[in-house]
Structure 1
Amino acid sequence: MGKNKYFSTKSVFGQLISLIDDSMIQKAVKNYDSDRYVKHFKCKDHLFSMIFCCLEKCNSLREVSGGMVGLSGKEETVRINHLPKKSTLADANKVRKVGFFEEIYNSLLEKYSSVLSDSRVEIALNKKVKIVDSTTIGLFKDILKCVGRKAADGKSKGGIKSHSVINADEKVPNLVWFTPATTHDHQFLEKLQCDEHTVYIFDKGYNDYKAFAHFTEQKTGFVTRIKDNAKYEVTQKSNIPENIHSGILSDEIIEVEVNNKNEKSKLKLRKIKYYDREHKRSFEFISNLFEFRADTIAALYKIRWQIELLFKQIKQNFPLKYFLGDNENAIKIQIYCVLIVNLLMAVIKKSLKRKWSFSNLVSFCRIHLFNYIHLTKFLESPENDWNMDKENDGQLGLFDSYLATG
């Protein structure tokens, strides 16, 4: 194939991993000393191999090692020094520190936060809105404890629960915590950073009055649903102004009892009842945001569905049904690499002027992973015929063209 305006000196895979700076990798390696005693299969090789696994949705070590054979002779173009064998990758997944992959993810999030962020929510409320939720990933072996009843034969599958926080204006996780599936959600609230410029949104599985009292003391806002069996005392009923959304049925001040060791105290909260015409059902929310309008609090909780859509997007597009190892370390590494690839694809999607669905974008990259086409240029105008007569005057990096115009 001759050169054309879509030609690139790097494959699509090479362009994607070029978003990860070598300095970023070197810093994480140094912080975790994760290349000590390693002769060949270094951290960078491991990271890029797992990114390949996620992009190609590989379900076994054999698929990863076999698929990467296509890079033989091209290792330098994709910055890989050692292609893995099955046993090599299995050993690395078992012993390499998960913290290395976690730091890579956090560094990428920091680098591209300005690209991913849409600050309209923060500007409107003058506060950062963060959504908290968890998703359970079932495992075929009893590696981690799983919730639910045991099967008739007495055996049970394992399960890992991924607790996540996303900024309402970013749509990628910025805090991730893994626990056995039996761990109660409310324990994750201890991990959250509190400040007066933040509002947390979570479902009623996170109800914990001690945590709510701590949020209130730290002037940190929250919105959640009240439990059906919650005990409280109504101390004040507020009139609903005419300019408030008609779905607001009531706006009350309540008091709940907080048990803190041997002491008991009262906590004042706001309870709002809202009728959703779309789903034809009512919801009751509690919050410590007394200065916000009642319909604003109801609208804030609706934002929580973004994290549900994120979990669905990740599970549908990346390999989280089959894992490459039967140990906890390998599972966590694979989940972090899925999050890294999800973030990279979100950066690409955000950089495009043309609208692409996330699943179509991932499928396109998967099909053309080793093709030498300029990814962003082609995605901007995929319906145009390739111009075989014109050659590029110069090669731009994958993200350079976006930064130049952004």
Structure 2
Amino acid sequence: MDNHTLLSSFGKWLAPICTKMFTTAVAECQQDKYVKKLTTTAYLKLFLLAQLQNREGLRHIADDVLCEDLQRELGLTSISASQLSRKHKQVDPELLRQVFERLAKLACSRQGTANPRHKIKIIDSTTVTLCLQKFKWAEFRKTKAGIKIHMRLSFIDEQDIIPEKATVTTAKKNDRTQMNELVHEPGVTYVFDRGYIDYAAFDRYCLDGIFFVTRLKSNTHMEPLEERDVPEGSQVSADWCVRIGSQQKKMKHALRMVQTQDSEGNLLFLVTNRFDLTCDEISEMYRSRWAIETFFKWMKQHLQIKHLYGSSEQAVTNQVWVALIAFCLLALVKLETKVKHSLLQLTRWLTKLLWQPYGKWLQQLKRKPNRTSRGRQKTRAVT
């Protein structure tokens, strides 16, 4: 018998995390010291299953363990909601973050240098609003609480993207505070919106060989230095060499300003330290940033980050990491099988064939998408 017969679909999906590296990491941080029942491995499997099945609470998750197939997978026969709650608060978020980053790195390693966008990274954040009474540690406004998920996403082909780095903060945190975590690799072009404008950081990027493309704020002081030629038929209306900054202090390095329009005809003023590309390439590079908006929309619709299983900061952070791990596991299956189906379709089949041999899930994956389903796949994330 081959692996397609021996391994369940659920087991195949989890295979990238069920490694010696993970068990060693758990042992090193003594995460399971004195644990007799719900190990960290069993916890992660159970909460990943909850992501697949969109469980809304710990009692629903506890009831899942009544399934005999799941009992064999976890190595336990029952669990209570209170035990799940304690474990959810106790697991070290750093451990789950490492799992996510390792899976993301594995997915990105499969993109290859043939992908024309493999040197483009998109930076952005999304806010998840919370109830202030339950999440007082995440106070955002007078009547709201919230967390912010800051992400760096990478293209794994011309259109599809995957998160490769993330940080989780309270919603009050300014986006610029996370740039040191997300932007640091020379030779890569980082694309981000005007919420990340930092003139001192831009000067540092110019010195370190880090490229960027972003949109100017309306109050940015700009000094034109030299006009550049714009090709005939270009969507770009102006291309200048400029120096930007505040009225009190300007950047030391000159940048390039490209004036173009968005899909609604509104003017966009883009700045970059890429002088080697055409103005249309700069414009298109910034337009690629909208892929992250599609990803955030998909994440909030299909990953379980709105129905939270705990109210402590550690429990909330853990749930974000589990959601991102679930996404990466699905993306890895799609990359490995090289199928054209959406991640949502892969998820539907997986939930129906959880305990069936992997071969049955693979058989579904290899089915060609019909014309209707292909027409509906308009998202730009790995969906």
2:96 alignment partner in structure 1: 101
Task: From the superposition, tell whether residues 183 and 214 of structure 1 become closer, same or farther in structure 2 (CA, over 3 Å).
Answer: same
Cα drift, residue 26 of structure 1: 1.2
Q: 1:163 aligns with which of 150, 155, 159?
A: 150
Q: 1:315 aligns with which of 284, 292, 300?
A: 300
TM-score under structure 1 normalisation?
0.82
Q: 2:316 aligns with which of 326, 331, 339?
A: 331
1:298 and 1:80 map into 2 onto residues whose CA distance is 54
- Contact 2:130–2:144 (8 Å) recurs in 1: yes
Aligned residue for 1:172, secondary structure, equals strand
User: Which amino acid in 2 is paired with 1:270?
Assistant: R
Counterparts of 1:115-126 in structure 2, within 5 Å, are 115=110, 119-122=114-117
1:251 alignment partner in structure 2: 239
2:43 alignment partner in structure 1: 46
1:87 alignment partner in structure 2: 82
Counterparts of 1:150-299 in structure 2, within 5 Å, are 150=142, 156-169=143-156, 171-242=161-232, 246-257=234-245, 266-276=252-262, 278-299=263-284
- Contact 2:110–2:156 (8 Å) recurs in 1: no
Task: From the superposition, tell whether residues 94 and 210 of structure 1 become closer, same or farther in structure 2 (CA, over 3 Å).
Answer: same
2:168 and 2:330 map into 1 onto residues whose CA distance is 23
1:370 and 1:336 map into 2 onto residues whose CA distance is 25
Counterparts of 1:360-399 in structure 2, within 5 Å, are 360-372=345-357, 374=359, 375-381=361-367
1:26 and 1:114 map into 2 onto residues whose CA distance is 23
- Contact 1:142–1:157 (8 Å) recurs in 2: no
Cα drift, residue 370 of structure 1: 3.4
Aligned residue for 2:138, secondary structure, equals coil
List per-residue Cα deviations over 1:36-90 (Å, max 9, x = no partner).
22222111011111111111111100010102211x36544x2545653211110
Cα drift, residue 346 of structure 1: 0.8
Task: From the superposition, tell whether residues 285 and 335 of structure 1 become closer, same or farther in structure 2 (CA, over 3 Å).
Answer: same
User: Which amino acid in 2 is paired with 1:94?
Assistant: K
1:14 alignment partner in structure 2: 11
2:4 and 2:184 map into 1 onto residues whose CA distance is 49
- Contact 1:269–1:287 (8 Å) recurs in 2: yes
List per-residue Cα deviations over 1:286-334 (Å, max 9, x = no partner).
1111222111111111111121121112111121111000111111111
2:120 alignment partner in structure 1: 129
2:380 alignment partner in structure 1: none
Q: 1:29 aligns with which of 23, 26, 31?
A: 26
Task: From the superposition, tell whether residues 328 and 291 of structure 1 become closer, same or farther in structure 2 (CA, over 3 Å).
Answer: same
User: Which amino acid in 1 is paired with 2:298?
Assistant: Q
Cα drift, residue 362 of structure 1: 1.6
1:195 and 1:74 map into 2 onto residues whose CA distance is 42
Sequence identity, in percent? 26
Q: Which region of structure 1 is more displaced relative to structure 2, 307-316 or 346-355? A: 346-355
Cα drift, residue 103 of structure 1: 1.4
Cα drift, residue 265 of structure 1: 5.4
- Contact 1:131–1:167 (8 Å) recurs in 2: yes
1:114 correspondence with 2:109: yes
Aligned residue for 1:211, secondary structure, equals helix
2:112 and 2:66 map into 1 onto residues whose CA distance is 37
User: Which amino acid in 1 is paired with 2:260?
Assistant: Y
Q: Unmatched 5+ residue regions in structure 1?
A: 151-155, 384-406
Aligned residue for 2:275, secondary structure, equals coil
- Contact 1:65–1:86 (8 Å) recurs in 2: yes
1:10 and 1:137 map into 2 onto residues whose CA distance is 36
Q: How many residues align?
A: 363
User: Which amino acid in 2 is paired with 1:161?
Assistant: K
User: Which amino acid in 2 is paired with 1:160?
Assistant: I
- Contact 1:121–1:168 (8 Å) recurs in 2: no
Cα drift, residue 237 of structure 1: 1.4
Aligned residue for 1:69, secondary structure, equals coil
CA RMSD in angstroms, aligned pairs only: 2.7
Q: Which has the larger radius of gyration?
A: 1
- Contact 1:271–1:286 (8 Å) recurs in 2: yes
- Contact 2:151–2:182 (8 Å) recurs in 1: no
Task: From the superposition, tell whether residues 190 and 85 of structure 1 become closer, same or farther in structure 2 (CA, over 3 Å).
Answer: same
Task: From the superposition, tell whether residues 359 and 118 of structure 1 become closer, same or farther in structure 2 (CA, over 3 Å).
Answer: farther
- Contact 2:25–2:95 (8 Å) recurs in 1: yes
1:345 alignment partner in structure 2: 330
Cα drift, residue 364 of structure 1: 2.1
Aligned residue for 2:254, secondary structure, equals strand
List per-residue Cα deviations over 1:110-138 (Å, max 9, x = no partner).
33433356741257xxxx21110001111
